[in-house]
Amino acid sequence: MTKNNQSAFSLQISDNGIAWVTLDVKGESQNTLRAEFASEFEAIFTTINADTSVKAMVIISAKEKCFVAGADINMLQDLKTEEDVLAVANTGHELFAKMEQLDMPIVAAINGSCFGGGLELAMACSYRISTDDASSRFGLPEVQLGLLPGGGGTQRLPRLVGIATSLDLMLTGKQLIAKKAKSLGIIDEVVAKANLRKVAEKMALKLVGKDKRVTSELKLKIQPNLLMSVAGLQKLALETTQAGRKIIFDKALETVNRKTMGNYPSPEKIINAVQIGMNQGFDAGLKEEAKGFAELVMSPVAKQLMNIFFASNELKKDSGVVGDVECMPINRVGILGGGLMGAGIAYVTAEKAKYKVRIKDQDTKGVNHALKYCWDLYKKRIKRKQLTVTEANKRFSQITGTTDYQGFKRCEIVIEAVFESLELKQQMIKDIEENCGDNVIFASNTSSIPITKIAEASKHPENVIGLHYFSPVDKMPLLEIIITDKTSPEVIATCVEFGKKQGKTVIVVKDGTGFYTSRIVAPFVNEAGHLVSEGVAIDKVDNALKKAGFPVGPITLLDEVGIDVGTKIAPILAEEFGDRMLPPPLFSKLAGDNRKGRKNKRGFYDYSGKNKKKSVDQTIYSLLGITPDNQMDDEKIAERCILQMVNESVLCLQEGILSSPRDGDIGAIFGLGFPPFLGGPFRYVDTLGAKDVVDKMLALKETCGERFEPAKMLVDMASKEETFY
């Protein structure tokens, strides 16, 4: 066996004529593709071509749970011009073309993540084998960074799985487990991890001398099951005719525009590249892909999304404390309260963090509700074929319930998710300290009550902390950890690590009324109420903010949270922060009319219809004495609400609630749906310029009042022309 080592690739030629190319980017936990690796890969091709003993090639990774995670994002961010990006894309295209042209079979032997450029590399091979390991996942997630697949993915994937399926995968960036990837035709074979090398070697030798399958030359993939039903035949007609394809592309574009509101250019460019490739041929599609990729990498949207990517990765390494602090051991977790939040926390704790969970509620009905909620989530995963019934049952068995404190003695951390009452939460602390060990961590999921006040009932305030989850817990990515002056570094570090194991992006903030996220969302919603008071229609306010990039409008958000809940929190914030936090009178007027929002089907919107669609309750206008005829521009509506949130975010940094602009941006985006393409409140200021933001706020202060007084930090930054980053 001969060996030739490269910096990212190593080549071994075995005695039976197989060239083993091993990917291993030194000093990194994952393999990523960089432009400088192209010359190394080409050198391997040259060596292989010159060696007549080589019959086949196998590409494999030396990393434990990663084949290739994609392109190196640092490399992309460092590129200065569209021409630079175009050169990188074209180099990748040429390299993968050489792989396809090589006169021998190439087998991709995949274990671990295979994303972006990694999947594009695999698709340029003639055969793909994956392990059945849970880490083996496949996808083209570039759209999540504001990009498109730039290594031929827009052209090879449709030829493997069909147009509609490929668009779905690329426009969502969804990940597939190996079994699903095989059923779609992305992967040819799934094997046990221990057998990967053996099966890859056997298949490589088997393919020697046979016609090489070249993905770029494949005709459009036709799934055999399409021939088995009327619906399948209809789909077949759409995929294989010019008129049918136009319907697919037009529908995809319509769906994309409805979801993105035109704020994200990458989905449209993905559709365009696929359409050109299908209609004009592979090479034309590649050219369009490279052009679109270059434009997107240099776009402001992609820059902001890449900033979010880097900030998220930084937080994964952040322990929440200064210096080396040893985490406390956790094996069992107690949950107080079997409602939606308690049940959701229980699920992610058992499913993702892999801890045993004990849920306590005041009665059997509450316990059963929590257990049913968790099991329903497992049933969804069974239905999607992500888990077998046996696997789901085994995982679900980690969650148990009780109506007393039996089983809590062995819990190292207890999370309360009970009603928002200071007295009740303080009683929970007393109960836990009586029924658990002295070192138990007591965590509150409160969204508004200061942790310092809750901790006043504790004998060990150093063990009290806030863990603010967002609903639904299994979907929302943020965990806001709230610390007091007395919370110990060990408890902080332990809870940060605990949140990461639950799959959360974690930010740590100082204690204070409203913490960070609840505090900055209040003026955002209040401003929406002021706009309605001024005669702007309810749905016009919501639609303006959705057009600006928020997932839901502020009025809908209040209906979802509960108008009654909002009117209870508002006075607490106003008492602490003064008149700028005073809600418009219409909120309390609606609460007095027993309008709670979705929960009782009466809010700003009417939810009584049989279909799940809501509509504005027109009787609100007469109740409030308002005529909704104010035709204010959507941009002005959105600007007023966004500036309120941005200014409050800066105040949180100014007062030390936040430790960094990074945490503020991530908290607003992941917890509240602040538009990612704007980068977060602090990136928003940097993009516009602090002076521009201050000028806008001062102008609004003249017309709307003192609530638009800009934060002193903003004013100082404007005078010095400073930025947050």
The residue from 480, 560, 709, 722 that is catalytic is: 480
CB proximity list for 340: less than 8 A, separation 6 or greater? 373, 471, 472
| Cα(688)–Cα(518) distance, integer angstroms | 25
Which of 188, 197, 176, 153 shows the shortest CA–CA distance to 61? 197
Q: Please report the sign of the dihedral spanned by the C-alpha atoms of residue 180, residue 185, residue 191, residue 196.
A: negative
Task: Tell me which amino acid residue 313 is.
Answer: N
Closest CA to 668 of 689, 687, 683: 683
Which SS3 state, helix, strand or coil, does residue 501 take?
helix
The two tokens of residue 613 are: 């669609």
Distance of alpha carbon 335 from the chain centroid: 25
Residue 332's φ and ψ, nearest 5 degrees, are -135, 140
Are β-strands 56-61 and 478-483 bridged in parallel, bridged antiparallel, or unpaired? Answer: unpaired
| Pair 468, 479: CB distance under 8 Å | yes
Q: Phi then psi for 611, rounded to 5 degrees?
A: -80, 160
Contact 289, 170 (CB under 8 A): no
Query: C-alpha distances in angstroms, 721 versus 212, 218, 646?
Result: 61, 56, 18
DSSP string, 191-206: E-GGGHHHHHHHHHHH
d(CA 432, CA 569): 26
Residue 230: both structure tokens together: 């009327």
Q: What is the dihedral of CA 492, 494, 495, 497, to 10 degrees?
A: 120
456 is catalytic: no
For β-strands 66-68 and 127-131, DSSP reports them as unpaired
Residue of 256, 284, 273, 260 lying closest to 158 (CA atoms): 273
Intra-chain end-to-end CA distance of the chain, in Å: 53
Catalogue the active-site residues: 480
